[in-house]
Structure 1
Amino acid sequence: MNQNFDIIIVGGGAAGFFTAINIVEKNPNLKVAILERGNEVLSKVRISGGGRCNVTHACFEPNELVKFYPRGEKELRGPFHQFCSGDTVEWFSNHGVELKIEDDGRMFPVSNSSQTIIDCFIQATQKLGIAVLTGQSVQSIFKKDNFWKIETPNENYITEKLILATGSNPKIWEMLQTFGHAIVNPVPSLFTFNIKDPRIKELPGVSAQVSVKVKDTKLTSTGPLLITHWGMSGPAILKLSAWGARILFEKNYQFTIFVNWLNEIDTDDAEKILKELKQEHAKKAASKKSPFGLSDRLWESLVLASNISDDTKWADLSKIQLQNLANQLTNSSFQVNGKSTFKEEFVTAGGIDLKEINFKTMESKLHENLYFAGEIVNIDAVTGGFNFQNAWTSGFIVANAI
């Protein structure tokens, strides 16, 4: 027995729901279904942002917003001019959910609970008569005349228009390859660096404003770095992991980074400042008080790593010791040996090749009436609400096109 719908959306996540709701709000007479392989929908929304759901980011200028997407920067410019973070805030407000901006620009529901977003979506689908069908794992997709046929273990579905919002689902990517779509192989995108090094061993929880670069590449990044039990994390590291997703994958996550703990100050300038400090604080122990706004513990660790003993006074520092210290401060080399997942972020770089998608409609350039929304395409972002914004924007554009 076949079930017929005007539109079927595969994937009961953020992009799938947002697309479905926007379609039926614009065309109330369409018969629309969401197929979800799991037993519950919106599970990623539930745990995102530590259970608070980081809905979007307070960057309201499309040309600025695209800079947070290592893959998709060029392609998203047009879409963001159609539906940007400000439109997201307004959309949720119109649906009874107020958002607030935190100090770092991330935006959350005022309720501080992802359940608010889930309830908003579920209530909208119920009100609009959208069928939400769980436990429907897609086994195959056929194109027959002007229709798509979707088979799940217990049901067959026929639809005129098919929207895939399945995120990083390798099985769906494989099916698309049989339709001639090229898939850019998925690799992890947001991760922290595993580093075993005596200089940071005792310093979990210490953070600093730094610049970091990966040896033998053009990868650089600046921002807060956080020392953890496993190594290094924080925005500066996560940005490197996102922009370097492919390069670091090819290096098998074995590489060297250089950290400038003083961020903007280079080695020569650091040495000059240290010489001045030597005059000013002649009688004080060099290791005791950090002069650069670094944490005292981190400062002490870098002093000891420069072959300066704990009780050496500033006045007694040799030229070589000052050079060593300037180098530790501005060009510390660390060996990275593997990666760890960042919290519950599971963002991958990879997906449908962007050249095969019409970004005015999110329709496949190879097959009519086949659309894509969310992370199924080769677009990903740094952490901070940007991956969700891609889901909302692409869903809105599909709905508009239909």
Structure 2
Amino acid sequence: MPQNIAVIGGGAAGFFAAFSCKTHSPDTRVTIFEKTGKLLSKVKVSGGGRCNVTHACFSNGDLIKFYPRGGKHLKKVFGQFTTSDTVAWFEERGVELKAEADNRMFPITDNSQTIIDCFLKEANKLGIQVVVNANVNSIQPKHPGFDLKIGDKTQHFDKVIVASGGSPKAQGFDWLKVLGHEIIPPVPSLFTFNMPKEPIKNLMGLSVPNATVRVQGTKLQQSGPLLITHWGMSGPAILKTSAWGARVLSDLNYDFKIQVNWLGSMNEEELRTWFINSLQTIGKRKIRNKNPFEIPNRLWDFFLEKVEIDGEGIWAELGKKSLNRLINLLLNDTYEVKGKTTFKEEFVTSGGVALSDVDFNSMESRKCPSLFFAGEVIDVDGVTGGFNFQAAWSTGFVAGKTSE
């Protein structure tokens, strides 16, 4: 008799798990239950509405390095479905992906609706039933299988795949905790830094191509493009710092100081040598007019004002003390962070079902046989750039494959 499988969650991982179920066992009856009225909501907003499907990293050994939590565990999953498989899966269904300069991959349409339409078409083609506004209140083991309480009704399923996503509060996992699972308390993972007292936020919209951000008093350090926003700072350098430091920054109650090297990896010796060699060619130029770095002119003016250097002066007449202040600012600029802002609508948390409670060869629960997990419901999260979706596709594929 065909298996009857429930997938809890109508997001990226849930849909992909359902596809995998039907692909590996076509006779299986698969139903997706989504508690809200919206399907694939994160897919819709990802990448500014373009959907950052995955990342052009085709080595599993390198890929796992982009996951602050769960990377080593995901290696078993990526061995069964990796980035190359993702690209092939979409192309087989008429969705061509492109890699941008930073290796993020998007549909060539630059429209997330392309991915949503593909998924809905695939679900219809495979005969997957999708039910919205269906909140699963509890999972009760009824060997064999489970009884799911959905609203005021109870339905029985042979196997269940939980792909319900993350939760901002630990209570959001209580329905899984009662089944014996350890829950790692969730904290935000991808967020931007608020700087209410820092005047640099008045330069919102400006960015530098490569900065290094360090959190004072910790070992946290990340590099990449940095964006100044109306609340503080964002961009990959900040977002990666927030991801790797999710728990550390939570413990600091999001009250800390950062040091910014606006020149990326350049150190003091290199910068002083650069100035010595360059002053011969730029010496007669006005300091304001000859910005020698890849820094926007308005930001350069801000820096000169901050270290009290007259931009109308010429480089050759810049005093030693002023040069020292400028060098220190360019390499060790300090800002006070007080608070965070969720990165657009792409809410990502660390935390969820403990990694030790999941068999990553199959994504089956070690505490509750025939129950499987996929996506952010487990304590796995990646940095920005398509890595969270890749984890969703891969864990969904394995959960669906092994639930046949």
Separation in 2, partners of 1:254, 1:288: 37
Number of the residue aligned with 1:175: 175
- 1:381-400 to structure 2, matched below 5 A, reads 381-400=382-401
- 1:49-128 to structure 2, matched below 5 A, reads 49-128=47-126
Separation in 2, partners of 1:180, 1:109: 40
Q: What runs of 5+ residues in structure 2 fail to find an aligned partner?
A: none
Contact 2:45–2:346 (Cα < 8 Å) also in 1: no
Paired residue secondary structure (1:174): helix
Separation in 2, partners of 1:139, 1:289: 64
Worse-matched range after superposition: 90-99 or 391-400: 90-99
Counterparts in 2 of 1:104 and 1:282: CA distance versus 1, 3 Å:
closer
TM-score normalised over the length of structure 2: 0.93
Separation in 1, partners of 2:295, 2:114: 40
Counterparts in 2 of 1:93 and 1:144: CA distance versus 1, 3 Å:
same
Pick one of 10, 16, 19 that aligns with 1:21.
Answer: 19
Superposition RMSD in Å = 2.0
- 1:329-344 to structure 2, matched below 5 A, reads 329-344=330-345
Separation in 2, partners of 1:177, 1:164: 13
Contact 2:198–2:336 (Cα < 8 Å) also in 1: no
Counterparts in 2 of 1:11 and 1:198: CA distance versus 1, 3 Å:
closer
Contact 1:189–1:349 (Cα < 8 Å) also in 2: yes
2:152 pairs with 1:154: yes
Number of the residue aligned with 1:45: 43
What is the one-letter code of the residue matched to 2:186? P
Separation in 2, partners of 1:189, 1:198: 23
Number of the residue aligned with 1:321: 322
Identity %: 47
Number of the residue aligned with 2:184: 184
Contact 1:185–1:351 (Cα < 8 Å) also in 2: yes
Worse-matched range after superposition: 134-143 or 109-118: 109-118
Separation in 2, partners of 1:172, 1:240: 26
What is the one-letter code of the residue matched to 1:140? S
2:39 pairs with 1:33: no
2:251 pairs with 1:250: yes
Contact 1:166–1:172 (Cα < 8 Å) also in 2: no
> Residues 316-366 of structure 1, C-alpha deviation per residue, up to 9 Å, x if partnerless?
333222211110111111111111121221111111110111000000111
What is the one-letter code of the residue matched to 2:182? A
Q: Alpha-carbon deviation of 1:5?
A: 6.3
Separation in 2, partners of 1:158, 1:219: 47
Worse-matched range after superposition: 262-271 or 70-79: 262-271
What is the one-letter code of the residue matched to 2:293? F
What is the one-letter code of the residue matched to 1:175? W
Q: What runs of 5+ residues in structure 1 fail to find an aligned partner?
A: none
What is the one-letter code of the residue matched to 1:189? S
Paired residue secondary structure (1:82): coil
Counterparts in 2 of 1:70 and 1:177: CA distance versus 1, 3 Å:
same
TM-score normalised over the length of structure 1: 0.94
> Residues 107-154 of structure 1, C-alpha deviation per residue, up to 9 Å, x if partnerless?
222333222222222222222222212221112211123221110223
Worse-matched range after superposition: 304-313 or 245-254: 304-313
Separation in 1, partners of 2:352, 2:393: 18
Separation in 1, partners of 2:3, 2:268: 66
Q: Alpha-carbon deviation of 1:41?
A: 1.9
Separation in 2, partners of 1:20, 1:42: 13
Q: Alpha-carbon deviation of 1:225?
A: 0.8
Separation in 1, partners of 2:103, 2:155: 42
Worse-matched range after superposition: 371-380 or 13-22: 13-22
Number of the residue aligned with 2:270: 269
Contact 1:197–1:334 (Cα < 8 Å) also in 2: no
Number of the residue aligned with 1:236: 237
Pick one of 142, 152, 161 that aligns with 2:140.
Answer: 142
Contact 1:5–1:33 (Cα < 8 Å) also in 2: no
Counterparts in 2 of 1:363 and 1:193: CA distance versus 1, 3 Å:
same
Contact 2:137–2:175 (Cα < 8 Å) also in 1: no
Q: Alpha-carbon deviation of 1:166?
A: 0.2
Separation in 2, partners of 1:116, 1:201: 35
Separation in 1, partners of 2:379, 2:222: 22
Pick one of 9, 12, 17 that aligns with 1:11.
Answer: 9
> Residues 173-226 of structure 1, C-alpha deviation per residue, up to 9 Å, x if partnerless?
111111221111111111111124666244222222111110010000111111
Worse-matched range after superposition: 164-173 or 230-239: 164-173
